[in-house]
Chain A
C-alpha cells in the first residue's frame, strides 16, 4: 500500500515535471496494478493543475503546456483507459459540438478542453478551427448536442462568437442548446455581449460548467446569460 501511494505521488510529480516517458510508463503500471481509470485520471489532472500554476507563475512556457497535453493524450490512449471509456460509451453524460470560430486558427485551448471533456464522460464532436456559423448550425442539426462550445484566442472572436449565437437564435435553436465560450480574453461582460450561457478562461472551469449543466434537471438551453 505504501508503495502504491509512493507511485501515485511519483505520477503527479512526473506530470508536473513533464517527464513524458516516465509519466506514461507509470500510468500504465498503475492501471496494471488495478487502479481505477477515473482515479488515475484524477492524479493526472492534479499534475496538470500544477503545470497550469507553473505557467501562470511564468516558470513554464506554452511549449510546456503542449507537452502536458501530449502526456494527457497518451495516458488516455492506454489500452485500459480506452477499454474503460469504450464500455462507458453508451453512458455518456452529455454531448458537445466544439470548434474554434471563424477568423481564428488557434486550437491549443480547444484541444485541451476536448480531451478533458472526453475524459469526463462527454461525447465531443470537434469541428476544427476557423469554423463559420453556418457550419456550427449544420453540425448542430447533425448531432443535436447538449452543448455548443465556441473557442477563440483573438480579441475579435467576441464578435464572431456573437454571430454564431445570433445565428442559432435566428434559426430558432437558441433555447435548444447551452452555449459556452472559451478563451483567455473573455470576461463576464463579453460573455453577456455574445449572448452565451457561460464562459471559461481555462479548460478545467469549462469542464466544470458543462458538468454542472448536465447535472441540472432542466439541461436545456436558456436565453439568459450566466
Chain B
C-alpha cells in the first residue's frame, strides 16, 4: 500500500518527499479511484479539460500552476505529452514527474510494457471526455441549437467523416450506465457505431506510487521538459486522437 510522501526509486531506495498533483479534469474519475486504491493523499490541482484543445494555452496554464507551488519537492502530472502541451514546461519550483505517454487515451488503454496501437477510425469516450464543456456531446448540442438538425448533420459528416466508431472505455472509475445511453444516442445521430473497450488505471496508480522508471519523464528542479523526454526521437510507444 502506498504511503503518501514515500517513494521507492528504481534502485530500491526509499525516500520521503512532498508531492503535489496537477491533473486534467478529463481524468478526474480515474485519478480519484487511483488515489483511493493507493491511499494517496497528495493535494490535487485540477485543470479544466478544455485546455487540451490548445497546447499553448495548456502549457501557460500548467506553468502558472508550477510557478505558484511552494515547499513541494516533486509535481506529479496526470497528463501525457498532450499535443506537446507539456513540452517546454520549466521545473521552476519543484521536480516534475510526467507519464511518458501520448495522453489520457494511451494512459487508460495502454498495457504495461506493451506498445499501444490506436485504432484509427475510433473516437474515444469516457465520462471525463463526455462531460467537458467542449466535448463532442457539447459540440453536438451546440450545433443542434444553432444550426438545426439538417445543418448539424452536414457539419458532423465533415467532422467525423473518417471515423467509424465511438469507443466507450470502461476504466472502472465511473458507472458505465451513466454514459452508455448518451454515447449510443450520439452514435446513432452521427451514423457511427458504438463499441466498448476495457481500460485500466495502472498508469495513474504507478504515477502515485512509483517506481519512476522509463514509463516517466523525470525533470529535476531547474530543468525544462523537451521533446526528447517523451521519446519522440525514437519509436513512440503509443498514439492518440484529438477532437479536430
Stretch in contact with the other chain, from B27-35, B38-46, B142-150, B176-184: B142-150
Closest Cβ of chain B to A76, distance in Å, is: 16
List of A residues within 8 angstroms of B53 by Cβ: 184
A63-B159, A105-B121 known; A70-B55 Cβ under 8 A: no
Question: Which residues does A use to contact B, with CB under 8 Å?
Answer: 18, 20, 56, 58, 61-64, 66-67, 69-70, 103-109, 129-130, 153-156, 158-159, 184-187, 189-190, 193, 201
A106-B242, A156-B236, A156-B239 known; A189-B226 Cβ under 8 A: yes
Query: 22 interchain pairs (CB within 8 A)?
Result: A58-B50, A61-B134, A63-B140, A63-B142, A63-B146, A63-B159, A64-B142, A106-B241, A107-B161, A130-B162, A153-B241, A154-B102, A154-B239, A154-B240, A155-B82, A158-B227, A158-B232, A184-B54, A184-B242, A187-B87, A189-B87, A193-B232
List of B residues within 8 angstroms of A193 by Cβ: 227, 232-233
Closest Cβ of chain B to A130, distance in Å, is: 7
- State the CA gap A107–B134 with chains docked (Å): 19
Cβ–Cβ contact A187 & B152, under 8 A: no
Cβ–Cβ contact B83 & A184, under 8 A: yes
Cβ–Cβ contact A187 & B151, under 8 A: no
Closest Cβ of chain A to B197, distance in Å, is: 18
**Interchain CB contact (< 8 A) of B120 among A20, A105, A109, A153:** A105
Q: Is the interface of B mostly helix, strand, loop or mixed?
A: loop
- State the CA gap A154–B102 with chains docked (Å): 9
Closest Cβ of chain A to B226, distance in Å, is: 7
Closest Cβ of chain B to A69, distance in Å, is: 8
Q: 11 additional contacts, CB 8 Å, given A69-B158, A70-B155?
A: A18-B146, A62-B134, A63-B142, A63-B155, A108-B244, A109-B244, A155-B82, A156-B238, A156-B239, A156-B240, A185-B84
- State the CA gap A105–B241 with chains docked (Å): 9
Cβ–Cβ contact A155 & B227, under 8 A: no
**Interchain CB contact (< 8 A) of A108 among B121, B147, B158:** B158
User: Quick check: is B204 within 8 A (CB to CB) of the other chain?
Assistant: no
Q: Is the interface of A mostly helix, strand, loop or mixed?
A: loop
Cβ–Cβ contact B244 & A184, under 8 A: yes
- State the CA gap A105–B83 with chains docked (Å): 15
List of B residues within 8 angstroms of A58 by Cβ: 50, 134
Cβ–Cβ contact B236 & A159, under 8 A: yes
List of B residues within 8 angstroms of A64 by Cβ: 142, 146
User: Quick check: is B243 within 8 A (CB to CB) of the other chain?
Assistant: yes
List of A residues within 8 angstroms of B50 by Cβ: 58
Instruction: Tell me the chain B residues, 129-148 only, with Cβ under 8 Å from chain A.
Output: 134, 138-140, 142-143, 146-147
Cβ–Cβ contact A187 & B244, under 8 A: no
Cβ–Cβ contact A62 & B151, under 8 A: no
**Interchain CB contact (< 8 A) of A107 among B80, B151, B162:** B162
List of B residues within 8 angstroms of A153 by Cβ: 83, 241-242, 244
List of A residues within 8 angstroms of B142 by Cβ: 61, 63-64
**Interchain CB contact (< 8 A) of B227 among A66, A67, A107, A189:** A189
Closest Cβ of chain A to B102, distance in Å, is: 5
Closest Cβ of chain B to A128, distance in Å, is: 9
